[in-house]
Amino acid sequence: MTKAERADYVLNKLEELYPETPIPLDHTDPYTLLIAVLLSAQCTDERVNQVTPALFKKANTPKKMVKLSVEDIQEIIRPCGLSPQKSKAIHRLSEMLLEDHAGEVPQSFEELEALPGVGHKTASVVMAQAFGVPAFPVDTHIHRLAQRWKLTTGKNVTQTEKDLKRAFPKESWNKLHLQIIFYGREHCSARGCDGTVCGICTTLYPDRKRAVKTKK
């Protein structure tokens, strides 16, 4: 198969498997989504969803969040890991939303990435899932699968994002990035498949004998 044929197969197969793509992080608006995505760094979505109800019960808006101390926030989010850095980022970005954006989450990559604790991937998730702007957030699942399916030559998520944006139609990006994540968790995990086990890997590369090592 050519790269274009592989991309087409993946697109159709994932649409067949995951016609619905619920957002994995529980939230009610762009602000709570932004906080949840920030908390998900090096933490599972399941753990984030266990922690955020207590946080959002106390503070589900920037105005309420800044009334909490950094220590208050840290105590609640401790199970997510990296709580010292994340609590400071949540408090400061909430202040900045009030100071610079009238308490609203900005709708541009540049303004989002200027907030503490918000990198390109977090901004991409918010732009895609809160505002419907085409984006292709690349996490470890997507990076690993894109390499197994030879849809990227990238050794990092930045290059993988560029390659996937070239490989797939823009209108598919927001749904597809979730579909790939779902597939990676269910069928093509780091330990469950090495590029020679799951259905998509074996269909794309039926003669592959060696495991595919993910380039970081």
Residues marked active site are found at 121, 139
Q: What is the DSSP letter of 66?
A: T
The four Cα atoms 197, 202, 208, 210 give a dihedral, to 10 degrees, of -20
- Quote the CA–CA distance of 156 and 138 in Å, as a whole number: 10
- Among 142, 97, 139, which Cα is nearest to 115's? 97
Task: Read off the tokens for 38.
Answer: 């920030």
In DSSP notation, 113-155 reads HTSTT--HHHHHHHHHHTT--------HHHHHHHHHTTS---S
